[in-house]
Amino acid sequence: MAIEVGTKLEGKVTGITHFGAFVDLSGGVTGLVHISEIADNYVKDVNDHLKIGDVVTVKVINVDKDGKIGLSIKQTVDRPAGSAPAPSSRPPRTDRGPSGGGSGERYNGGGGGGGFNRDRGPSGGGGGRPSRPPGGKPAFGGKPSFGKPSFDDKLSRFLKDSEERISSIKKNTESKRGGRGAKRS
């Protein structure tokens, strides 16, 4: 029997890994059900859903040139058109914006805790960096950002930020060494 994409078959689970389960279809042909194709909800551990020896109905979703067969268990369940899959037990993702922190400010601070912050000491509450640069000015010169900044804007901000950080590091290093040209006794 030729295995074609879209056909539904019965098979026996022969192996379980952290990324999915191997299913013996017939005649020594084995396919893989990836962990993302086991159930409509989030699957943390394959062993919670399948056991070796289970007989399952699978749908062939792809066949590679080298003979690898991709299978799906969740696509065998016929749902009425327009119905959504079962709600996931995974928490919804939040859009974090360009800085990765969600605050829209230059430093990833403000939330969380722990870490060491020179201004506040160990575990001083905050993300490890101040939410505003020294001097109390708003991030990026106080210009409100409407829409996405261009590449040139991002590059100039990065260069300015880098120069500020380097000069700050140099000042701290020089003060620890005794300043410029200071003789050691």
pLDDT at 95: 59
pLDDT at 26: 82
pLDDT at 117: 47
In DSSP terms, 16 is beta-bridged to: 21
Query: 15: which DSSP letter?
Result: E
Question: Which residue type occupies 145?
Answer: S
pLDDT at 140: 53
List strand residue ranges (DSSP E) for 35-84, in order: 55-63, 69-72
The answer to whether the beta carbons of residues 27 and 2 sit under 8 Å apart is: no
Mean pLDDT of successive 10-residue stretches along the chain, which has 185 residues: 83 94 88 93 92 93 91 84 57 57 47 49 49 52 65 90 91 73 56
User: How far is residue 114's CA from residue 159's CA, in Å, rounded to a whole number?
Assistant: 29
The answer to whether the beta carbons of residues 43 and 16 sit under 8 Å apart is: no
3-class SS of residue 161: helix
pLDDT at 105: 44
Q: Residue 167 has which token pair?
A: 């000069």
pLDDT at 177: 72
Kindly report, as residue ranges, where domains of CATH 2.40.50.140 are found in the chain.
8-76
pLDDT at 146: 63
**CATH for 8-76, among 2.30.110.10, 3.40.50.720, 2.60.40.350, 2.40.50.140?**
2.40.50.140
- CA 142 to chain centroid, in Å, comes to 30
